[in-house]
Chains A and B, each alone.
Chain A
Amino acid sequence: MTRDTWIGVVFLAFAVLFWFAADGIRISPLDGPVTAAGLPKSLAYALGMLAALLIVRSLAIKRVTTAKPVAAEAGEDNSSDLGNLRQHLRAAGVLAIGVGYLLVVPYLGYTLSICGLMLATAVYAGARFGAKTGLIAALGGVFFYFFFVKLLHIPLPPGLWPDLLSPLAG
C-alpha cells in the first residue's frame, strides 16, 4: 500500500468518527430544517468520499506505474524513512520545547520562562551552549518583557514570584 493509500484510510476512519461525534450533537428547538449537526455530518460524508477517492487514485497510480525491483525499492524506502525519522524527531523536539515552556510558565513567570525558551531553542537549533548564547537569551527575554509588559501593557503570567515575594515586601 502506498503512502497516499494509508492517508486515505486514516482520513476515512476520521470521517466515520467525525460523523458519530456529529450524531451526538443535541437537537435544539431553535434549529431550522438543518440542525446544528447538519453541516458536520455533510462534511463527514464529503471527507469520507474524498478519502475513498484518494485511496482509489493511489491504488490506480500504483497499478499503472512501472514496478521497481523489490530489493532496491525496499532499500530506498528504508533509507528515506530513516532520514525522515531524524527530521521528524527534530521537529518533535521543537514541540517539546514549546510544551516545556507552557508547563513552567505558570510557576516561573513569563520573563524567566521566555529566556529559557529562547535558550533551549537556540541550543537545540545548533548554537553552542555557553555564555554568549545565555546572554543573548537573557537579553531577548528582557527585551520581550519590556516590549510586551511595559510597552504594550499585556499582563503576561507573573508566575509564583508575587506570592513568594509579597511577604518580603509586606
Chain B
Amino acid sequence: MEGIGYAWQALTTTPAVFAAMAGVVWGILGGALPGISPSITMALLLPFTYTMEPMTAIILLASTYVGAEYGGSIPAILIRTPGTNAAAATAIDGYEMHKQGRGGEALGISLTAGILGGLIGLIFLVTLTEPLASVALLFTPPAYFALGILGLSVIASLSSGSLIKGLMAGVIGLMIATVGTDPISGVSRFTYGSPELLDGIPFILVMVGVFAVSELLVQASTPEWVKSGDVQTRIKLPSWSMQKRLLKPNLIGSGIGIFEGCMPGAGGTIASFMSYNEARRWSKNPEEFGKGSPEAIAAPEAANNTVAGTALVPMLSFGIPGSNSTAILLGGLLIHGLQPGPLLFEKHPEVIYGLFGGLFVANTSIFLIGILILTPTIWLVNRPKPYLMAGIFALIFSGIYSIDHSLFDLYLVLIAGAAGYVMRLFGFPFLPLVLGLVLGYLIEANYRRSLLLTGGDHIVFLQDPVSLGLLITALIFVVGSAWRDIRSARKQGAGGKGDGAAA
C-alpha cells in the first residue's frame, strides 16, 4: 500500500509528471536521430540530473529510454534508416508501407504497439522487481563479489565481438575504477600527484565519452543520412478492426520482450527481430511480411517497448545492468548515492515506486506526445547533420562542465571519446567497460571485506553457497561463450573466409 502511495505521488506531483513527459519528448527526438542511440540520448541528460531530486532524475532518464524506443521507429518508417538498432526490424515493412502512401498508418501502429508493449513491460517490472530484490537479502559480501563477477562475465560473453575482448573491456573498466583514493585505506592510487584524480574518474565522464563523443568522431566521416521529403505525414491511428488483427503480434512481441528484457545482454534489437520472425510464423498472412504488413510493425515495436520496462528488472533487483541504456540508468542512481537492490526498496521506496508511477505516465503520455511531436521530429531529422553535430558537441561540453565546473573533466571526456573510437575500431564492446567501471567499487569492496572476515583465505568464495553458485554460473557463461567462439572460428577456417584478422 505504501508503494501505491509513492507511485500516486509520482502521478500527481508536477515535477515528476513534467520529468516523465520531458523525458519522453527528449527520448523521441534523440531516438529519431540516426546514430544517436537511446543510451547516448540518456547519457547526454546525465550531467543535468546531478542537481535534481533523485526520483525526478530517475523518472527523467527512464522516460527518455521509453521515448527513444518509439522515436527510433520514425526515421525507420519514413526514410528506412532506423533511429535505434531496435527499430531495424520496423524499417523492413514500415518503409514499404510509407512507399505505398501508408506512412501515417505505420506510425500509428508503431505508436499504439509501443504503448501496449510499454505498459505490459511495466506490469512485469512492478511484479518481478521486489521479489527478486528480496532474494538479494540473502547475499553476503562473498555473494556480492560473485554477483559482480557474474554480471561482468554474462555481459562480456553476450556482448557483440569476441568473448576475450569483452572480458578485456571489463577488466579495463575495473582498472579505471581503481584510480583515485582507496576507500578502505585512504591510499591514493594512480593519481600521480593530480588533485583532480583523487576522487577517481567519474563514470559519467567515461559513459558520455565512450557513447556520445565517440559517436561524434565516427559521424565526422559518415555520409549525411537520407532526408525525409515527407514533412506533412500525420499519424493515422489503427481502427478497431485493425487493432483486433494486431492483438496477436502485439502479444507475441510483448512476450518475447518480457523474456529478452530480463536477460542481461539480450536487449531490444534481438527481441524485435525474434518478434518479427515469430509474428510471421503465426500470422494468417505471412506472405505480406516484407511488403508492408501491419503485423510486421506491431510485433517488433511491442517487443522493444516491453524491453524498455523489463530490462530494468535485473538492474533494480541486483544492480546489474543488462544493456547500455540500463547502465546509464544505474549511473543515474549511483550519482544520487542510491545502490540498487533490496536496500533501495527499504531505504528509498519513494524512488522505486515513484519510478513505476513515472513510467506509467511516460507510457501513457507518449500517445499524445507522439502525435504532437511528429512534425518537429521530422523537421529535426531533416536538419543538416553538421549543425546537429555542432549542437550535440556543445551540449556535451556544457553539460559535463556543469557537474564539477572543471575543464579537466572535459579533457577526460575527450580521452574517453578517443578510447571509445578505438574500441569501436578494434571490436571491443562498450558495455563490459562501463559495467566494470560502475561495479568496480562493489566488486573490490566486497572482495576485500570477504577476505577481512577470513583473514585472507580465498576459500570463503567457495564456502558461501550463493557465491559458489554465482561463480559457477559465471564460469558456465564464459565457457559456453568460449565454445561458441571456437566453433565459429573452426567454421570460418573450414569455409576459408577472410584472414581472421577482423575482430
Which A positions have Cβ atoms within 8 angstroms of B? Answer: 2-4, 7, 11, 18, 21-22, 25-28, 30-40, 43, 46-47, 50-51, 53-54, 57-58, 60-62, 64-68, 73, 84, 86-88, 90-91, 93-95, 97-99, 101-102, 105-106, 110, 114, 117-119, 121-127, 133, 136-137, 140-141, 144, 148, 152, 154-157
- Is the Cβ of B451 less than 8 Å from the Cβ of A34? yes
B493 touches A39 (CB 8 A): no
Q: Contact at A114–B185, with CB atoms within 8 Å?
A: no
Which chain B residues (384-409) contact chain A, with CB distance < 8 Å? 384-387, 389-391, 393-395, 397-398, 401-402, 405, 407
User: What 10 A-B pairs come out closest when comparing CB atoms?
Assistant: A33-B456, A66-B496, A64-B493, A61-B500, A125-B386, A28-B185, A91-B217, A127-B386, A2-B501, A36-B182
Q: List the A residue with the shortest CB-CB distance to B214.
A: A91
- Please determine whether B220 and A73 come into contact, CB atoms closer than 8 angstroms: no
Q: Which residues of A contact B393 (CB under 8 A)?
A: 94, 97-98, 117-118, 121
Known: A43-B171, A43-B178, A61-B500. A98 touches B444 (CB 8 A): no
Q: Known: A32-B452, A39-B444, A117-B393. Is A95-B217 also a contact (CB below 8 A)?
A: yes
State whether B217 touches A94 (Cβ < 8 A).
yes
In contact, A140 and B391 (Cβ under 8 angstroms) = yes
B8 at the interface (CB under 8 A from A): no
B164 within 8 A of A: yes
Q: Is B417 an interface residue (CB 8 A)?
A: yes
Asked if A90 contacts B220 (CB within 8 A), the reply is: yes
Partner of B448, one of A34, A133, A148: A34
From A7, A88, A117, A133, contact of B426 by CB (8 A): A7
Enumerate B416-440 residues with CB–CB distance to A below 8 Å. Answer: 417-418, 421, 425-426
Name A105's closest neighbour in chain B (CB-CB): B407
Find the residue from B51, B391, B451, B452 having the highest chain A CB count within 10 A: B391
Closest to B499 in A: A65
CB pair B451 A62 closer than 8 Å: no
- Shortest Cβ distance from B443 into A: residue: A39
Determine chain B's interface SS by DSSP, over half rule. Answer: helix
Specify which chain B residues have a CB less than 8 angstroms from the CB of A141 in the assembled complex: 394
Contact flag A2-B499 (CB < 8 Å), given A18-B175, A90-B221, A91-B221: yes
Determine how close the nearest CB of chain B comes to the CB of A85; give it in whole angstroms: 11
A99 to B39, CA, bound (A): 25
By the criterion of a CB under 8 Å from any partner CB, how many residues of chain B are at the interface?
71
Q: How far is the CB of B446 from chain A (nearest CB, A)?
A: 11
One digit per residue, 1 when the CB lies within 8 angstroms of any chain A CB and 0 when it does not, for chain B 144-174 equals 0000000000000000001011011001101
Q: With contacts A47-B175, A95-B414 known, is A121 near B390, CB below 8 A? A: yes
CA distance A11 to B111 in the complex (A): 46
Question: A24 vs B361: C-alpha distance in the bound complex, in angstroms?
Answer: 53
Q: Report chain A residues within 8 Å CB of B219.
A: 125
| B497 engages A31 (CB within 8 Å) | no
- A103 CB to nearest B CB, Å: 10
Selecting from B66-74, B186-194, B278-286, B351-359, the interface stretch reads B186-194
* Cβ–Cβ < 8 Å partners of B421 in chain A: 91
**B337 on the interface (CB 8 Å rule)?**
no
> Are A57's CB and B410's CB within 8 A?
no
| A3 to B426 alpha-carbon distance, docked (Å) | 8
Q: Which of A34, A46, A98, A99 contacts B456 (CB 8 A)?
A: A34
